Amino acid sequence: MEKAVIAIHGGAGTLSRSNTSPETARKYTEALHQTLLAGQAILAAGGSALDAVTEAVRLLEDIPLFNAGTGSVFTHAATHEMDACIMDGRRLDAGAVAGVRCVRNPILAARAVLDNSPHVLLISDGAEQFAREQGLEIVAPDFFSTAERAAQLRQARGQEQVFLDHDVPVPPISPDTKFGTVGAVALDSQGNLAAATSTGGMTNKRPGRVGDSPLPGAGCYANNANVAVSCTGTGEVFIRMLAAYDVAALMEYSGVSLPEAADRVIKEKLVALNGEGGLIAIDREGHVVMPFNTEGMYRGVAWVGDIPSVGIWQE
């Protein structure tokens, strides 16, 4: 096995390099870098992959740059409905929440479901009540709101459309309104894999809509036998494809390498269904891939003992 490693993403999208100021790019790269350092420190201390991805996603949820937790997009009803999932590759344990409106960190609610519930997925009022019982921080619904998100909603309502975070139609795509679903995958020193994904969904979405992020096998998957995966992009297509699990299935049943499996899912199968997005994945040997079929994806990777590496655009 290679040494422990963590990878993260902050969403894939049509991020115009020419329209992104150095200062804006710096904000994103610094946020990714600091998040990687936190996850890397957990792994370096012998911590679990599960704890590393939990903490990485929790931190990203607290950064308004990304569409998860604070800074989540608005529904058509001008509310926030957030989803999250976490999966432990040791025994295929998973925990998830969907449609939560007042839990400060949805990923912590998903982790509590994994650790302390016989269920896999809790939604809405039931998920929020469970979070309260677990002692998680509960906040007012407007805690998650930002002026940028409100502007996105007004634009989407005016055009009577639902927008993926990276498809807000500001030509060229403005980095000031580009935010993204977040996720993390990790391999620890014991050879265990874990994955976590969290999102605020789609701008102007119908209340009650749930995407791929909280669904094990669609937007999040981890299995010690092969791979940990976190996805970002056109949620409905990722659900139909079971995209995260498809990477693992291609590796298990077709015997292909992680790079080949991930590229086939993102650059062939997703495209065939008019889907956009990307994924991050780590296999049990510590190989890392981060393919995407858009102009950019906020992403980064950190092996224990090495300096973290982050990126935005296609290299």
User: What is the set of active-site residues?
Assistant: 181
Q: List binding-site positions.
A: 209-212, 232-235
In the chain, the amino acid numbered 261 is A
Judged on CB neighbours under 10 Å (0-12, 13-18, 19+), 16 is middle
Q: What DSSP line would sit under 121-162, residue for residue?
A: EEEHHHHHHHHHHTT--B--GGGG--HHHHHHHHHHHHTT--
CA distances to 15, 42, 100, 196 from 200, rounded to whole Å, are 19, 26, 10, 14
Residue 236 sits at the vertex; the CA angle it makes with 152 and 315, to the nearest 5 degrees, is 70
Q: Give me the phi and psi of 279, to 5 degrees please.
A: -155, 160
Identity at 154, one-letter amino acid code: R
Q: Could you give the CA distance from residue 223 to residue 193 in angstroms, rounded to a whole number?
A: 6
By residue count, the chain amounts to: 315
The C-alpha angle with vertex 122 and arms to 99 and 142, in degrees rounded to 5, equals 30
Q: Is 19 exposed, middle or buried (0-12, 13-18, 19+ CB in 10 A)?
A: middle
CA–CA gap between residue 109 and residue 303 (Å, rounded): 27
Indicate the annotated binding residues for substrate: 209-212, 232-235
